[in-house]
Amino acid sequence: MSTMEPVKKVTIVISKGGLEHVYPGLIMANGARMEGIEADVFFTFFGLDAIIKSRMDKLKVATVGNPGMRFPNGMAMPTMMGMVPGMSSFVTKMMQKEMDQLDIPPISEFLEMISDAGGGIYACKATVEMFHLNERDFCDQLNEVITVGEFYEKSAGAQIIFT
Domain boundaries, given as residue ranges, for the chain: 9-62+107-162
Whole-number pLDDT of residue 84? 83
10-62 tens-digit pLDDT? 999 999 999 999 999 999 999 999 999 999 999 999 999 999 999 999 999 88
pLDDT at residue number 96: 87
User: Percent of the chain, pLDDT > 90?
Assistant: 69
CA torsion 103→79→162→99, rounded to 10°? 0
Residue 14: closest CA among 28, 32, 1, 4: 28
Mean pLDDT of 154-162: 93
pLDDT on residue 22:
97
Q: How confident is the model at residue 2 (pLDDT cuts 50, 70, 90)?
A: low
| First-last CA distance in the chain | 29
Q: Is the pLDDT of residue 154 over 70?
A: yes
Across the range 145-151, mean pLDDT stands at: 97
**Long-range Cβ contact pairs of 113-117 (< 8 A, separation 24 or more):** 113/30, 114/26, 114/29, 114/30, 114/33, 114/39, 114/41, 114/141, 115/141, 115/143, 117/30, 117/33, 117/34
Could you give the residue ranges of the DSSP H alpha helices within the chain? 19-34, 87-101, 107-116, 125-130, 148-154
95 burial type by CB count under 10 A (0-12 exposed, 13-18 middle, 19+ buried): middle
pLDDT confidence of residue 18: 92
Please say whether the beta carbons of 145 and 52 come within 8 A.
Answer: no
Residue 1 scores a pLDDT above 60: no
Question: What is the reported pTM?
Answer: 0.89
Distances 96 to 64, 77, 112, 138 between C-alpha atoms, Å: 18, 18, 19, 23
Q: Are 161 and 12 in contact (CB under 8 A)?
A: yes
Q: Is CATH 3.40.1260.10 the classification given to domain 9-62+107-162?
A: yes
Q: At what angle do helices 19-34 and 107-116 cross, to 10 degrees?
A: 20
